[in-house]
Amino acid sequence: MAHLREHWFPYLLGAIILIVILNGLSSSDNNKENLLVPSKQTSIVPDIYELSNSEADNLIRYGKDLIENTAKYFGPHGSVASITNGLNCQNCHRESGTKLYTNNFLSVASTYPKFRERSGRLESVEWRVNECMQRSLNGEPLDSLSKEMRAMVAYIKWTGKNIHKNEKIEGVANNELPFLSRAAEVVKGKTIYLAKCKSCHAENGEGVISVDGKSYVYPPLYGEHSYAESAGMFRLSKLASFIKNNMPLGASYSEPLLSDEEAWDLAAYINTQPHPKKIFAVDWPVIRSKPVDYPFGPYTDGFSERQHKYGPFDPIKKAKDIAKK
Ligand code: HEC
Ligand code: HEC
């Protein structure tokens, strides 16, 4: 005790440092995001630290790594193969595909295999991943038995392990933005881009490459290294809702940083800039099943390609609803 009384200062200093470190850990960005959503919903996302060291769990962990660092494995300088444009799955499927209200993987396990109109077939999770490989990453498909495909599928299914079939939980589905009553405006979008996006995504949407040249610090939004014209993001509704719920960096569903109008106009600007021309002729085998904002004809409804790209979408939707009756 006498020892402690004489040398109390180093102990006190140690205690203070410990408190500062613990405090820093608990207020990391991730935790801040989680606090924004009701606790009932955060608990549906499983905890990666619950995984064991079994072979199956290691595969899930590898899958998470592939989703987060796709470029490292499959980008132009990829260690497994060079078959993608250098984007990471996580650039669009934020927080390893678990961010609520926006492009998360949580409902995949309970809804696939799923019939989708774009392909006109029942899609497996492997098939769906390969669609993003070919379109969003403008790349090549993976063999469905390859270790990397098995790992990504194992991880994606694991994220949905707390959700049962036909169960509807808020935040699992995308937050779709209401249509504007006008067409989205490219010129307005450009002004907002220069003010709020250019600082990271660069002058010509080309993004910023990391120092080692292997991945992006800020991913490209348009130009030859961006998602292809056949990707989901090339539809205005998908891009606008992503932007509203994620950008500029730091935005979320509960704390958006843009208005709906700004998000739609930005989407119009970005999707008017060049993207790799990769269209699949087999898409939308039933023409009238094309979504109102699918920007490539032919159509059965008499509206122009221009209106299908920029809106206003309400009249198209109304005509579609009447035709269905
Ligand atoms: C450029 C953005 C982007 C990138 C990069 C991207 N995706 Fe996607 N992905 C999307 C969008 C947008 C959708 C939703 C399309 C829709 O709603 O129809 C989607 C849908 C999916 C789905 C289906 C989700 C569901 O609930 O039906 C899976 C699975 C998926 N992506 C996996 C991946 C994987 C794995 C990668 C990386 C190899 C990847 N994606 C990269 C944009 C992207
Ligand atoms: C502070 C930097 C920053 C700003 C400002 C910013 N972004 Fe991003 N953006 C990012 C980063 C980083 C990612 C990848 C996120 C990840 O991997 O989790 C990203 C991803 C994206 C993506 C999906 C990936 C892709 O390349 O297609 C889109 C679309 C996007 N941002 C649009 C915008 C728009 C529109 C704005 C302006 C409103 C904006 N961003 C402002 C940093 C930024």
Give 84-141 pLDDT, tens digit per residue.
999 999 999 999 999 999 999 999 999 999 999 999 999 999 999 999 999 999 999 9
Ligand 2 centre to CA of 249 (Å) is: 6
CA of 317 to the centre of ligand 2 (A): 30
In a domain, 31, yes or no: no
Same domain, 192 and 154: no
pLDDT tens-digit series, residues 55-66? 999 999 999 999
Specify whether the CB–CB gap between 240 and 263 falls below 8 A.
yes
Task: Give me 262's structure tokens.
Answer: 């700004």
Is residue 197 domain-shared with residue 305, that is, in the same domain? yes
193 in the same domain as 129: no
319 contacts: CB under 8 Å, gap ≥ 6: 301, 302, 303
Q: Which residues contact 298 (CB under 8 A, 6 or more apart)?
A: 287
Is 37 inside a domain boundary? no
User: What's 149's domain CATH number?
Assistant: 1.10.760.10
234 DSSP 8-state letter: G
- In terms of domains, do 190 and 320 share one? yes
96: left (phi over 0), alpha (psi -120 to 50) or beta: left
First-to-last CA distance in the chain? 86
- Predicted TM-score of the model (pTM): 0.90
Q: Is residue 223 situated within a structural domain? A: yes
Task: Judge if 150 and 56 occupy the same domain.
Answer: yes
Beta bridge partner(s), residue 116: 121
**How does pLDDT run across 4-55, given as a tens digit for each residue?**
455 655 555 555 555 545 454 444 444 434 434 444 455 899 999 999 999 9
Tens digits of residue pLDDT in 253-310: 999 999 999 999 999 999 999 999 999 999 999 999 999 999 999 999 999 999 999 9
Please identify, by atom number, the ligand 1 atom nearest to the C-alpha of residue 133.
38
What amino acid is encoded at 163 in this protein? Answer: I
Can you tell me the distance from the alpha carbon of 245 to that of 188, in angstroms, rounded to the nearest whole number? 19
Q: Does some domain include residue 207?
A: yes
Report the run of H or E that residue 2 belongs to, with start and end. Answer: helix 2-6
Candidate of 85, 92, 229 to mutate for ligand 1, largest count of ligand atoms within 8 Å of Cβ: 92
Q: In whole angstroms, give the CA distance from residue 229 to residue 245.
A: 22
Residue 15, domain member (yes or no): no
Domain that holds residue 266: 186-324
**Is 137's C-beta closer than 6 angstroms to any atom of ligand 2?**
no
The residues near 194 (Cβ < 8 Å, ≥ 6 apart) are none
Same domain membership, residue 126 and residue 191? no
